[in-house]
Chains A and B, each alone.
Chain A
Amino acid sequence: MSTTEVAKPVLPVLQDYAAIVGEPEILELRELARRLAGRRVKMVNSTAVGGGVAEILNRLVPLMEEVNVSTRWEVITGGEKFFHVTKAFHNALHGAPYEGAQDWFDAFLATNEDNRRRMQFDEDFIIIHDPQPVALIAERNSGPRRWVWRCHIDLSNPNPQVWDFLRPWVDRYDASLFSSPQFTRGLRIPQYLFYPTIDPLADKNRELEPQFVRGVLEQFHVDPARPILTQISRFDRLKDPVGVIRAYRLVKKYEDCQLVLAGGSATDDPEGAAVLQEVEQAAAGDPDIHILNLPPWSHVEINALQRGSTIVIQKSLKEGFGLTVSEALWKKKPVVASAVGGIPSQVIHKLTGMLVHSVEGTAYQIRFLLANPVFAKTLGENGHQHVKEHFLLTQNLRRYLVLFLVLLQGD
């Protein structure tokens, strides 16, 4: 087993973002970074592709490098059992029952220990993302290094068996980062608010020609002339794809619409195939339901599907932040989304989108928006501005730079 260093693709440079966020924001980012010149950062997570964390790091790390804050991103490795255990942890931390045995905890710690032994930790700031690598903190000694735990998931109602196991590890960090105040657990260490962000210049979010959007819809046999309801998310029960199909069927009684369920599977999610099968069974026999199991590099296609949609849905049962909501809002799409996790930070009910609490409520609001396109357009415009102010990549870079300065000052 060895750790994997993630390859660096060719990406936009910081100055490219000035056209979107304004030149002043870029100048100030450079000023902040100058105070950190020569400092080094390590980011550690559990997957290089698929899922929101990998996407954020793929874009954030090169920008940190560009402003001379040297940043190394490493991915821990583990066997099938480790990822089975961490998936069970993930679900349990979202409140699901946990049925693991003691040897699951042992397997978790053994994999963390294997990774710890093989990795070097000589940077100034070590950022550990999510529970999978949390026990790497065992490496911490009394040196000047600052260790930060970045929690991307909703810990508002964790299964106590798993949380009680993880918490002593979390308590050893210098600080923790959460996507919403509601996700915090009253930790003794400082808890900071870190909204996740999207990259407006990434293939998934950049502007596309209308002809290209139409071409992608046609490629997937989606009719651009009829209303298109879309949920983009990996095939995960917590995203409730079967609930989305039920909501669509309630709408379909009155509106001749189509449903697109597009997603893929992350390498750290062994349940994806089973969930996809459940979704295909639920959709059987309806040619207007398009289930698209896309490979992880389908960013432009996902962008086009969002842009081509009439309404974007995010009917999650639990959610860390739900970056697909910000992606849709950035594209000025009316969004109907569950009031869970970080979604209410993005969707302010009736102002930047519609919040819902059930399958029936989802159908009700979709019908309302289909019947009121002017209001739907206003929601989309407001949503775009809301994302611009809070949820773009440049703000994430700024938060990290400020975090490092605050840690150096000794909060």
Chain B
Amino acid sequence: MAVSLEAKRADQPFQFMAASYLIRIGAQPVQTLGDLAKSLRTCPQASIFYHTFQSLEAHHYTSFSSDFAQWALTACNEAALAEQLAIVDLREIVSLEDLRRILVDIVSDYLKEHPQAADRRAFEAFYFCEAKEVTVPSGSPAWTLPELSEGIRHLGHQSLHYHFINSRLRLQLQTNDFSYWIERNLNHPWLAARLNRIDFYNDTLDELRQDILRVLEPAESQ
């Protein structure tokens, strides 16, 4: 007799984490696109992460979610470069070094085509920052899909971001913590894949939570 997905119990539970971030500000601000290209090559990986993955959490009103793109647009008035930086799809990225290379190539190629833009002083400086992450286990572990949904309902914003967006780099599998657990522990790759197709780029975190629950809740009754 088949066991419903709602009743199915995982071999290993899902452990929710409460994630919090402290933002450390770098010592040397960047004033030009030429300096940005140089700093992108040498800045800590944590800074690449902060200004791309982490900034997805912060921007609901600005044109682009990438801090680099937003700065190129608003401080350097280089809309074409901003667009190139913004369209890097973080869902395809599993390594910060890969992401660094992509960003460096975009800025370098642009400056080859537009050398006059390299030394033009920006309207305001760009400060490389990095996020210090603190995580602590939170709430009851989930053994079933309904328990996973319940836990997601009680996740704070930063923790939801940690499990659904930041997790892609931690796992290095182009997926999120929830999909990874569902696939490995409930053996439902179709549900995992469906969850992973949610477009987190255009959601606020509250909307993202609702999107996730909309995928999980019908599946529970199947």
Contacts and interface: CB of A to CB of B under 8 A. Distances in A.
Given A24-B154, A32-B18, A181-B129, A351 B134 contact: no
A57 interface: no
A32 B125 contact: no
Interface string B149-187: 000011111110000000000000000000000000000
A385 interface: yes
Interface in A396-411: 398-399, 401-403, 405-406, 409, 411
Contact of A27 (B61, B124, B139): B139
A188 B28 CA distance: 11
B156 A28 contact: yes
Contacts of A352: 61
A190 interface: yes
A182 B154 contact: no
A138 interface: no
Interface residues on A, range: 35 or more
A382 interface: yes
Contacts of A192: 22-25
B203 to A, nearest CB: 14
Interface in A7-57: 22-25, 27-28, 31-32, 34-35
A195 to B, nearest CB: 9
A191 B136 contact: no
Given A27-B138, A402-B20, A186 B27 contact: yes
Interface string B19-44: 01111110111000000000000000
A191 B27 contact: yes
B121 to A, nearest CB: 15
Contacts of B29: 181
Contacts of A35: 136
B23 A27 contact: no
A23 B154 contact: yes
A178 interface: yes
Interface in B80-135: 124-125, 127, 129, 132, 134
B188 interface: no
A398 B129 CA distance: 19
B60 interface: yes
B134 A24 contact: no
B129 A406 contact: no
A95 to B, nearest CB: 16
Counting chain A CB atoms within 10 Å of each CB, the highest count among B29, B138, B154, B156 belongs to B156
B222 interface: no
A406 B132 contact: yes
Given A181-B129, A398-B20, A24 B156 contact: yes
A23 B125 CA distance: 37
A39 B27 CA distance: 30
B127 A182 contact: yes
B124 A182 contact: yes
Given A181-B127, A386-B61, A405-B134, A191 B28 contact: no
B145 to A, nearest CB: 19
Nearest to A191: B25
A348 interface: yes
A173 to B, nearest CB: 15
Counting chain B CB atoms within 10 Å of each CB, the highest count among A386, A402, A403 belongs to A402
Interface in A128-156: none
A238 interface: no
Interface in A172-191: 178, 181-182, 184, 186-188, 190-191
Nearest to A178: B25
Contacts of A31: 18, 136-138
Interface of A: 22-25, 27-28, 31-32, 34-35, 178, 181-182, 184, 186-188, 190-193, 348, 351-352, 382, 385-386, 389-390, 398-399, 401-403, 405-406, 409, 411
Interface of B: 18, 20-25, 27-29, 58, 60-62, 124-125, 127, 129, 132, 134, 136-139, 153-159
7 contacts: A24-B156, A25-B156, A28-B158, A28-B159, A351-B62, A389-B60, A406-B134
